[in-house]
Amino acid sequence: MSWLTAEEALAQLGTKPQTLYANVSRGRIRAKADPADPRRSLYHTADVTRLAERHAGRRKSETVAAEAIQWGDPVLPSAVSTIVDGRLYYRGRDAVSLSASATLEAAAAVLWDAPAVELAGEAIESGPPVIRNAFLALAGRVTRDLPSLGRSRSVLRSEAISVFSCVSAALAPGRGDFVHIRLANAWGRPEAADCLRRALVLLADHELNASTFASRVTASSGASLSAAVLSGLSALTGPLHGGAWQGVSALADMARHTGAEEAVRRVLSQGNPLPAFGHPLYPDGDIRASALLQHFEMPRLFEEIRKAGEAATGERANVDFALTAMAESFALPGEAAMVIFALARTCGWLAHAMEQVEDGHLIRPRARYCGPALVAGG
């Protein structure tokens, strides 16, 4: 990555220092401490260039819109969650502070702006927790559940509890008052329960990420809440999103044979980004990762990868790394990171889907055609 000094960034932006700092706090420009002088900061060149071009005032509106959807300005207003000054908030409440004692059910109540959220009935026995179970459970509901439009907030909340319970039964089968206990028992790792609880709360929502946006688009069409969650789950499986744990696992496998420093060097020497290091919305490090990493003993190999990766990239390990390290620490099954992510984020998808239904507008962007020349007539 290429970085600029404050003077270089200000010259390119043509703004005052306060504006530069404001753009950093809003996640529009990534920043890091200058290795040569920790009192100074460096600013990501591509972010500065993108923002400078946006403010030039000479571009067409469709160009601005196209860039805004790629880590740009928020494209939808939302009261569900936000990231400000490197902190994550759920309806104004600090998510890290909430994770100190709250359950996922309590986090859902915050995100849904509801008095309380309790699972509907006991979880069914559906075999070991695997992501396939959630797909099957949701697909079975989509054709039965009613469309979301024209239904009151109280009715939608009741249906959200039903959908959440359905996903919880699929991904956290067995008995227990809370999903983190069910999940720990299903994996035969009761000692992991508290870490699982913290991870679930920290991952419950994250503003307009790819899977949440997919959920909102589906909900905007009037589709059922279960359909919105199924859309989010599908997007989550991508390797650039919830599937990032696979890149971390592959890096760990390489490091077992070559050592951490060599594994990191090989990835970077091939021109590939190091998986699970850095996050555009957290220039000073992913707060969710640092909060989670404090509560389990990181395996030695992962600690070595973390040190080598941070030294080589200048970026800190993010929550995907922390989640994969936690799964390794407690000897959880291969899909554990994805199961935890999907179970947690179901709460956020439902919160955004209900908010989108209340908004009542179809999300329908236009395409900027760049194909072959148009030929009129026959």
Q: Residue 11 has what pLDDT?
A: 87
Q: What are phi and psi of 82, to 5 degrees?
A: -160, 160
Share of the chain above pLDDT 90, in %: 66
User: What mean pLDDT is predicted for residues 33-42?
Assistant: 81
8 A C-beta contact, residue 219 and residue 292: no
User: What mean pLDDT is predicted for residues 201-210?
Assistant: 96
pLDDT at 270 over 50: yes
Greatest Cα pair distance, the chain, in angstroms, is: 70
Q: Mind listing the pLDDT tens digit for each residue in 134-164?
A: 999 999 999 999 999 999 999 999 999 999 9
Going by pLDDT thresholds of 50, 70 and 90, the confidence category of residue 123 is low
User: What mean pLDDT is predicted for residues 106-135?
Assistant: 83
CA dihedral sign, ordered 111, 113, 116, 119? negative
Q: Residue 222 has what pLDDT?
A: 96
Domains and CATH numbers, the chain: 3-68 (1.10.1660), 74-360 (1.10.580.10)
User: What mean pLDDT is predicted for residues 96-112?
Assistant: 97
Going by pLDDT thresholds of 50, 70 and 90, the confidence category of residue 227 is very high
**Owner of token pair 């075999």:** 127
Q: Find all residues with CB under 8 Å of 161, minimum gap 6, and list them.
A: 117, 118, 119, 120
Integer Cα distance of 325 and 248 in angstroms = 9
Lowest mean pLDDT among 43-47, 74-78, 314-318, 357-361: 74-78
Going by pLDDT thresholds of 50, 70 and 90, the confidence category of residue 1 is low
Going by pLDDT thresholds of 50, 70 and 90, the confidence category of residue 249 is very high
User: What mean pLDDT is predicted for residues 166-174?
Assistant: 92
Going by pLDDT thresholds of 50, 70 and 90, the confidence category of residue 254 is very high
Integer Cα distance of 228 and 291 in angstroms = 29
Residues forming a β-bridge with 41: 33
User: What mean pLDDT is predicted for residues 113-135?
Assistant: 79
User: What mean pLDDT is predicted for residues 165-169?
Assistant: 94
**CB 170: neighbour CB atoms within 10 A?**
26
Query: Is 101 exposed, middle or buried (CB count within 10 Å of its CB: 0-12, 13-18, 19+)?
Result: exposed
More confident call, 69 vs 64 = 69
Give residue 10's identity as a one-letter amino acid code: L
Q: Residue 58 has what pLDDT?
A: 44
Lowest mean pLDDT among 32-41, 190-199, 210-219, 335-344: 32-41
Write out the catalytic residue numbers.
241, 279, 320
Q: Residue 207 has what pLDDT?
A: 94
Q: What is the mean pLDDT of the chain?
A: 90
Range with top average pLDDT, 15-24, 115-124, 229-238, 239-248: 229-238
Lowest mean pLDDT among 12-26, 38-52, 59-73, 100-114: 59-73
